[in-house]
Chains A and B, each alone.
Chain A
Amino acid sequence: MNKQDTKGVLVYIETAGGAPVKVSEEILEPARQIAAKSGSDVTAVVIGENIGDAAAQIAEKGADTVIAIDSPDYKDYNLDAYADVLRQVIDDVKPEAVLIGATQDGKDIAPKLAAAFDSASASDVVGIDFDDDGNIIWTMPAYSGNILYDAVIEEARPQIGTIRSGTFKKLEEAPKGSVESRDIKAADDVIKAVIRDSVKEMAESVNLEEAEIIVSGGRGMGTKENFQQVVDLAQLLGGVVGATRPAIEDGWIPRNHQVGQSGKIVAPKLYIACGISGATQHLTGIVNSDYIVAINKDEDAPIFEVANIGIVGDVNKVLPVMFEEIKKIKEEA
């Protein structure tokens, strides 16, 4: 698309169980920023079956227009179908920018759209700004978050960005928008991969991203039995259980508890790291925590470099005492 022909921001709203996922609401904030800069509008797109409520909700949360594509055809997510529907909407709306939450599916859709429009996509964006010409400056992490870099997409349009969860806050106040239903069919020949079966393995969903307290365990917990102490402390504190990749690979806790580069990026008020070394792939997921407490027997463990309190000691001796002491405080309160 020609740069001059594009205007406004298009936001893709991912839903789960009929409701917008958290990051989809968050991305309305940068969308409004970009639209304000160019004096244009925010259009949101919701695709699925029975997504009327989600569409209405988004019209209250910062979109001027919500395009609802509600059809049994889109009951289940399919990358090829969803990307083609979005392609058609983009062809029509001609936005300067497309924002997508950096969920697993969102990160698949973005390059699909970049390919369709021969444009470019900024991955896992953790901040936006503008240069003197009004171009969007996208800030992204590299090398497991050890480096940040700023980039611009000068000419190619629409420019696409997947936004990391937690980067922006949901808008508290937003203009009221309208919902518009549209019937858009994915082109017949685009569907090249078909989902035969979708299995929910994890019994409970784990809301690490919104947790205020997280107690995480790593390989240093030693055994599955010992890992239970992490679970118990999390429960006592009313928090959520996190884990490193080795703890998950050893089968101590399901995969949806993983924190880090390939897991969840978290920002709790309190993060307690038990028997975790602090590899960059883990740290990148926790550096935005307000307060970090780490227990590790190795005084040189890198986790201590980011910890507010670092306890040098055996986690299996420290945790039981901590548990009892905190329990006492809770009971007294």
Chain B
Amino acid sequence: MNILLCAKQVPDDAVEVSMGADGKPAIDKIDKVVNAFDTYALEMAARFKEAAGEGEITVLCVGPDDAKNGLKNCLAVGGDYAYLASDEAFEGSDMQGIASILKDAIRKIEADKGIAFDIVCTGKEATDMALGQGGILLADKLGTGVITNVIAFDTDENGVSAKQETEEGYRTVAADLPVVLTISKPDYDPRFPKIKAKLAARKKPIEAVAADALSDEGKAAAGEGNAKLKILRSYEPPKKESGVKIQEESDEDSALAAVKMMTEAKVL
């Protein structure tokens, strides 16, 4: 089974982002990490591969040069190969643009290696802009089916069967291979890299994909000039003012003081 994982580099989601003096979100100083949902997808793919006893996982990112660090981390926790699609021409792409670049990069990797990917995994959404569109747009461009919000999957001779999380439970969804799966948070966490795996990952190459891999369709979609959704401005939402803190002699007293205030505020 050949699995391709789309992994986006995003600012660490544990850090609160504020606006910078230049009128843009101040993300430059925040550590970059692999999008949380993409790490869940990688863990799910790695477990699938381990259970099957065969298969390879290729990780693909569209992003700036420093996204290599994230890709190295992916190689340390289950990824076998990593590709970075980086080019000035890709900058400022909207999601349709990114999906086109991903598609052309996938086709190029397949052609270069003489393989075909059976399963393409994306995250359910990226933690920066949280569009939740990447996997669905990519499936459309690849001409495959897509199963969203997946928390478990397996394959058999008929294709793939996936457990899709819903608001009230789950659906079992089946599709032929190849397929795109968008992965949600399963009830386990991604593994931590072992030191040996980390050292080995550092030595592995990160292959480059550049703008010359783009098809005509890709050229027409990639880059800021082709973005259909144009961002006008960013700003911080009005902050909620913090109120009073209660810390009496004992927790019991604090509780009583709080209830008194809540009664006065008529919220009970």
Binding site for B on A (CB under 8 A): 79-80, 103-104, 107-108, 110-112, 114-116, 118-124, 137, 140-156, 192-202, 205, 237, 245, 249, 255-256, 261-262, 269-270, 279-281, 287, 290-293, 299, 304-314, 317-319, 321-322, 325-326, 329
24 interchain pairs, CB-CB under 8 A? A107-B132, A118-B96, A123-B129, A123-B133, A149-B231, A150-B233, A152-B230, A152-B232, A195-B171, A195-B172, A196-B174, A198-B171, A199-B172, A281-B13, A305-B239, A306-B240, A309-B261, A310-B242, A311-B246, A312-B246, A313-B255, A318-B251, A318-B254, A325-B256
Distance, CA A249 to CA B265, complexed state (A): 34
Nearest CB to that of B188 among chain A residues? A249
- A interface footprint on B227-262 (CB within 8 Å = 1, 0 otherwise): 011111111110110111111001110111011011
Q: Are B255 and A309 in contact (CB under 8 A)?
A: no
Nearest CB to that of B229 among chain A residues? A120
Binding site for A on B (CB under 8 A): 11, 13-14, 16-19, 25, 27, 94-96, 127-133, 136-137, 140-141, 144-149, 161, 165-176, 179, 184-185, 187, 228-237, 239-240, 242-247, 250-252, 254-256, 258-259, 261-263, 265, 267-268
Q: Are B231 and A196 in contact (CB under 8 A)?
A: no
Nearest CB to that of A203 among chain B residues? B168
Q: Are B174 and A193 in contact (CB under 8 A)?
A: yes
Distance, CA A310 to CA B246, complexed state (A): 6
Interface centre among B127, B132, B170, B261 (most CB of A within 10 A): B132
The answer to whether residues A149 and B127 also contact, given A114-B137, A196-B174 and a CB cut-off of 8 A, is no
Nearest CB to that of A291 among chain B residues? B267
The answer to whether residues A193 and B175 also contact, given A111-B137, A291-B265 and a CB cut-off of 8 A, is yes
Q: Are A199 and B128 in contact (CB under 8 A)?
A: no
Q: Are A194 and B174 in contact (CB under 8 A)?
A: yes
The answer to whether residues A321 and B251 also contact, given A249-B187, A256-B167 and a CB cut-off of 8 A, is yes
Distance, CA A312 to CA B242, complexed state (A): 14
Contact residues of A: prevailing secondary structure: mixed
Q: Are B242 and A149 in contact (CB under 8 A)?
A: no
Additional A-B contacts beyond A152-B230, A325-B255 (11; CB < 8 A): A107-B132, A111-B137, A111-B140, A146-B17, A147-B234, A197-B172, A198-B166, A205-B168, A256-B167, A287-B240, A321-B256
Cβ-defined partner of A115 (8 Å) among B14, B16, B137:
B137
Q: Are A151 and B231 in contact (CB under 8 A)?
A: yes
Distance, CA A317 to CA B243, complexed state (A): 22
Cβ-defined partner of A199 (8 Å) among B169, B176, B230, B251:
B169
Cβ-defined partner of A123 (8 Å) among B130, B174, B251, B262:
B130
Nearest CB to that of B133 among chain A residues? A111
Q: Are A150 and B185 in contact (CB under 8 A)?
A: no
Nearest-Cβ distance from residue B95 to partner chain A, whole angstroms? 8
Which chain B residues border A317 with CB–CB below 8 Å?
250-252, 255
